[in-house]
Structure 1
Amino acid sequence: MPMWVHPQFDPVALQLGPLSIHWYGLMYLLAFGMFFFLMRRRMALPFAPLPAWTAKDLDDLLFFGVLGVVLGGRLGQVLFYEPLRYLANPLEIFMVWKGGMSFHGGLLGVIVALALWARSRGRRFFDVMDMVAPCVPTGLMVGRIGNFINGELWGRVAPSDLPWAMVFPQVGDGLPRHPSQIYQSLTEGLLLFVLLWWFASKSRARGQVSGMFLIGYGGFRFCTEFFREPDHFDIGLHSLPLSQGQVLCLLMVAAGLAIVAWSRRQGKPE
């Protein structure tokens, strides 16, 4: 059976003189644009938290969120995944154009950034997080598409008779592999968005939407990690065996369950 071969896209989508626009950068722009559009829809809901959200609130929130994603994602990569490498070469921490962004670090960065924004606006933390959470998965979806275009974060070796198995020439072994970037785009991105958007379309107790996001993402990511080739710097629980990403996802699910349990005790806000 013939196998698919990754087409090895040019990572540069557009060249404007000395300026190179990369596909992954375009995916980030698309992610933030989709977030902005979806947040406008969320702000119009009749049960949106008071005081009412304004266009300036959304602009400022997006600015804080971008900083949280970039700074948190980079620091997460440094601290969670490759501390020894960056300890030996500290200047590489600032070389973001060489790649290296951690989702879990980005998530923590966004939480800190939005907590600061909520405090500065006199809003409740979970009111802000519940508004934001359903608008995040579409960004994760296009981010994984960017990974696929770059031919990075490929999957584990797959059976040769798997109809969608794909050879990634970047690996150099010629073996068929799972296109795990697509799995993650469809589950942690599209499917999570559909479920969370439906769940958040009705008034929920404060914190429930945030908790469900952590449970949903953590659960989907835990499953797709079985099909993704572990990074060379992965220090997960190999004796179980679990990848480092799966360990962090279990912590996410536990945190989500705790938030949902706390939320149910609080009841719906007035």
Structure 2
Amino acid sequence: MFINNFDPVAIEFFTIEIRWYSLSYIAGILLGWFLAKRFLKDKDIYARFDDYITFVIIGIILGGRFGYVLFYNLSFYIENPFDIFKLWQGGMSFHGGVIGIIIATVLFAKKNKDNIFEYLDVIAIVSPIGIFFGRLANFINSELYGHETNLPWGVKFIKIDDLYRHPTQLYEAFFEGFVLFLILLFCRKIEGLKNAGILSSLFLIFYSIFRFTIEYFRVPDEQLGYLILNATMGQMISVLFLLAGILLFYSKINAQKKS
């Protein structure tokens, strides 16, 4: 068993604090950007990808923040609307970030007359890198922790209480980050899965399955608790993403067969 007493501040210089959470976003975006360009080096959209990343970053920030506001704490932000802009207080939704990326991609691709899924497929492959770093930062911050456990890898988050808990942040980092990245890299090499849009659908499917399952071990958001059929908000949104992924997968496979 392990005791988590990490300081969420990575670097402190006088009154300036640089937090691990911020560094995780930077690391995820930079490494994802680097790998995405390697994957796209023979593609027509390679020359426009740097401009596209600006849209993606805006989509992540706006989508992640407004997703959290709408999905997880709407009543609070209705009463305190200016707190929406206090990003340093935390509160980002991964599902909202995905929606933000999709909207940003649609706008950018339409503007440049490109295939939307040529962008989304490469983002799907590198997104698990960002998830991996983000969940490690959640672990350092002692947030998104799990239920009590007596398993040997239980973690005591001393900023929370004296209980040993499932380190659900690390579960997510491993499955939604590392494992999902390997799955998509493998699928990328399969000839029958190379049509634009298929990798995006597989990302939605596998991410949703991993997230839905791990949510059973995770303490739900305090302000929401359990909802319909004792599901968490994360599970409910994951079901919608899973259905969207399945529909997209079959539509792209059928289109591939017809062509």
What range describes the TM-score normalised by the shorter chain of this pair?
over 0.9
Aligned twin of 1:164: 153
Letter in 1 for 2:46: W
Aligned twin of 1:265: 254
Letter in 2 for 1:35: G
Out of 122, 131, 139, the residue aligned to residue 140 of structure 1 is: 131
- 2-side partners of 1:152 and 1:237: how far apart? 20
Aligned twin of 1:186: 174
Aligned twin of 2:54: 63
Q: CA deviation at 1:16?
A: 2.7
Identity, % of aligned pairs?
A: 38
Q: CA deviation at 1:241?
A: 2.1
- 2-side partners of 1:241 and 1:256: how far apart? 23
Aligned twin of 2:212: 222
Q: Deviations over 1:45-89 (max 9, x none)?
A: 5xx4xx3522xx221121111100111011001111111000011
Task: Figure out how many residues of one structure are paired with residues of the other and give that number.
Answer: 257
- 1-side partners of 2:181 and 2:199: how far apart? 12
1:16-31 alignment runs, 5 A limit: 16-31=13-28
Aligned twin of 2:115: 124
- 2-side partners of 1:116 and 1:255: how far apart? 20
8 Å CA contact retained: 2:129, 2:178: yes
Letter in 1 for 2:211: R
- 2-side partners of 1:10 and 1:132: how far apart? 31
Q: CA deviation at 1:15?
A: 1.8
Q: CA deviation at 1:236?
A: 4.5
Aligned twin of 1:38: 35
Over 3 Å counting, the alpha-carbon distance change for 1:236 and 1:259 in structure 2 is: farther
Q: Deviations over 1:14-65 (max 9, x none)?
A: 12333211111111110011111111221135xx4xx3522xx221121111
Out of 141, 144, 149, the residue aligned to residue 140 of structure 2 is: 149
**Partner SS state of residue 230, structure 2:** coil
Over 3 Å counting, the alpha-carbon distance change for 1:268 and 1:52 in structure 2 is: farther
Q: Deviations over 1:201-221 (max 9, x none)?
A: 345122111100000100110
Q: When the two structures are superposed, what TM-score results if normalisation uses the length of structure 2? A: 0.94
Q: CA deviation at 1:199?
A: 0.6
- 2-side partners of 1:71 and 1:65: how far apart? 10
8 Å CA contact retained: 2:37, 2:46: no
Out of 184, 193, 196, the residue aligned to residue 206 of structure 1 is: 196
Q: Deviations over 1:123-146 (max 9, x none)?
A: 011222112210110110010000
Q: When the two structures are superposed, what TM-score results if normalisation uses the length of structure 1? A: 0.91
- 2-side partners of 1:19 and 1:116: how far apart? 36
Task: Identify the range of structure 1 (191-200 vs 124-133) with the bigger mean alpha-carbon deviation.
Answer: 124-133
**Partner SS state of residue 230, structure 1:** coil
Letter in 2 for 1:223: T
**Partner SS state of residue 132, structure 1:** helix
Aligned twin of 2:233: 244
8 Å CA contact retained: 1:74, 1:102: yes
Letter in 2 for 1:53: Y
| Structural RMSD (CA) | 1.7
- 1-side partners of 2:196 and 2:51: how far apart? 22
4+ long deviations beyond 4 Å: none
Structure 2: segments with no counterpart, 5+ residues: none
Between Structure 1 and Structure 2, which shows a larger proportion of helix residues? 2
8 Å CA contact retained: 2:142, 2:160: no
Structure 1: segments with no counterpart, 5+ residues: none
Q: Deviations over 1:66-122 (max 9, x none)?
A: 100111011001111111000011110111110000111111011101111111111
